[in-house]
Homo-oligomer: A and B are copies of this chain.
Amino acid sequence: MERVPVLKIGDILLVSIQIDMEDQVALQLQEDLAERIVATGVHGVIIDISALDIVDSFVGRTLATIAAVSRVLDAETVVVGMRPAVAITLVELGLSLPGIRTALNVELGIALLGKRDVGDEPADDEDEDDPAAVTTS
């Protein structure tokens, strides 16, 4: 059976999805990821979907499940590399990937995860707009 590899890079697990997410592959990935999160104690998961032309409702649900499981295990999930056409299709399908954060590429995803204070503080809710962005002169 085909299997999506889970790569550990620092405090992050990186998954690059390139094969069709059939049921067994998706289930195996969920299991592998959960096991690796527990084994490595990372706090971030990045899922790259830049190779995917299509994200249907099954893949959308799989991503949501992975994010939910990761959250329970104290790791945050960021989906990166979504193609514009995929984003349009997702919205048209009514799938807005609730609970999943996105970034344009892996580096921005890592930066997004880095903003979270890992370990010490609970991540509170003041992310959205950044009052500190006022220009200092």
Please state if A107 and B51 are interface contacts (CB–CB under 8 Å).
Answer: no
Which of A7-15, A58-66, A116-124 is near enough to bind chain B?
Answer: A7-15
Query: Given A18-B18, A19-B18, does the pair A51, B8 have CB atoms closer than 8 Å?
Result: no
Q: How far apart sit A50 and B36, CA to CA, in the bound complex (Å)? A: 15
Please state if B10 and A107 are interface contacts (CB–CB under 8 Å).
Answer: yes
A2 interface residue (CB < 8 Å to B): yes
Please state if A51 and B5 are interface contacts (CB–CB under 8 Å).
Answer: yes
Q: How far apart sit A3 and B17, CA to CA, in the bound complex (Å)? A: 11
Query: Given A5-B50, A51-B3, does the pair A19, B19 have CB atoms closer than 8 Å?
Result: yes
Query: Given A19-B18, A19-B19, does the pair A105, B4 have CB atoms closer than 8 Å?
Result: no
Nearest CB on B from A79, distance (A): 13
Please state if B16 and A106 are interface contacts (CB–CB under 8 Å).
Answer: no
- Of all chain B residues, the one with the shortest Cβ separation from A15 is B16
